[in-house]
Structure 1
Amino acid sequence: MAGSCAPWVGSAYLFLQSTCKAIALPSLYENSQKKPSVFRALKLALADSTGSVNGVDMLKVHCSHPHLIVQLKFCKQENCRHFLRSYREGALREALQNHLQLSLAITAVPLEMELKAGNEHLDSMLKDEDRCLEYIYREKPDRLRDEEITELEERLKGLMIHQSTSNSIPVNDCTSLDSPSLPCPSQGSSLSPQVTFIFQGQQFANRTLTPDDHQKFAKLVSKKWKQVGRSLQKSCRALRDPVIDSLALEYDREGLYEQAYQLLRKFIESEGTKATIARLVAALEENGLISLAEELLGLHSNEDCS
């Protein structure tokens, strides 16, 4: 594919269309008040799909009714491979639906997606991952990032800094950027809400999990609830593999939301005041669920964009 010394760079187009007649994605994106919310949902869903906030770069968003077309640039084959699997398994669609629902404060956004690299329609060959990667690698980006995208990126970063500053508390001596997401050890026998932890260079109070955290986790974690459970089990005996498997079977008919909800319920009931946001954020980070961690920390609350 690429030479051993050459950087891996490729490009693709993601076509998005709402199947609900009352929701037109291009119209929402063309609306100056709604555009930042749509962009934020795209950014978060793509971060989920690549396992990194910088896993893929949006170069331009085209409005071509009824489609919203996103031009993507990948700079690492690993991120692109992760994206393809997320797209193939439907995780990207589900993540984008959920983030649009939260950002726009609407009930549901049913979506259809199509992925292209040049003239190649990749949907018909998704099982052949290497072939898809080859086509994406051949399709080099034909533009720099659009100025509008840069402005939206800066606006989103500014919002995150503002909200994280509002949520942060004074730094304790024992906190360190060298150990992100790990709670600072307390002097007592358990973690207290006053302990702080670092996430993406920002500091947060290590509070106990709330009912709102519980519901957001269950709604957004999707198919990765088992992986998060296995990350939590390293410090929680109540979440051993047999327990996780039992939850999967017992709540199979109720679906992913209920399975994830029951998993976190088990964690909270078992750990009590030690069921903290820092432990959950660390488990989410370990499984590439960066945007969900940011959601739980209040970095993506709906804003007034007027």
Structure 2
Amino acid sequence: MEGFNQTRVTEFVFLGLTDNCILEMLSLVAFSTTYVLTLFGNLLIVVTIIFTPRLHAPMYFFLSNLSFIDICHSSVTVPKMLEGFLLERKTISFDACIAQLFFLHLFACAEIFLLTIMAYDRYVAICTPLHYSTVMNMQVCVQLVFALWLGGTIHSLVQTFLTTRLPYCGPNIVDSYFCDVPSVIKLACTDTYLTGALIVSNSGTISLICFLALVTSYTVILVSLWKQSAEGRRKALSTCTAHFTVVTLFFGPCIFLYTRPDTSFSIDKVVAVFYTVITPLLNPLIYTLRNEEVKSSMKQLRQCQCSVIEKKH
């Protein structure tokens, strides 16, 4: 045991996205801007929903939770990535790496479950509108959100356990800009085939099953829309299109990355950037640009703030 402790890896070194100095500076500016906009956009949605009584409905309750998760999800990886653009040697301690891995999977899994719940919410609202207020009351919504966080925590604990149970005695070079299970277990000093299979059965299966459930829900919704009026069909299609766009943007990279942990491609880093950096920014844009109620609520909130400031002066 003593010999194991002496050779145990204490830190990991990231290769980052690129080793070109010019590209690193350009990436620093681009991703810094993206991160700030992500924080501002999602925080604006959360504040707008909290301070607008007419938005205190299940759909917007879930949307505010989605924005909160996106803030947390991007904050797990982006700050460390931005720091790496400024450093020649990009390192992270073993404990910090495991913590990053844990929270990455916690927020990613929570978002997967939340998007599935949001699809169910739209299914109930469109296919059984007379029972909607009974089926999706706020008590049920709170219970569903609690369940998704519990499920995300259990999933993340499993992923963390599978990673930390392996011995790490070198090498310590991670071909990425953040710690994730597939990239870290490759560095273990033992055969990781079984662990890789367990990852597929956990992360990959969750992503794939939830995505298939979502596709089924939206297919049923589209079929039922033909029975509704033109105006009702237009409004429902607008909402469902926004939801399904977010689902595709998030689930696509997750399924691509986590259903094949033993195989890596050169495009993996680009895909990872998309779902850890770009998607959290696109979510508020997609939902606000396609939702007139949210946009009007933001305008009213801004007008109220301006009126308060004028009165103070």
TM-score w.r.t. length of structure 1: 0.27
Q: Which one has the bigger helix percentage?
A: 2
Q: Which one has the bigger strand percentage?
A: 1
The structure whose Rg is larger is 2
TM-score w.r.t. length of structure 2: 0.26
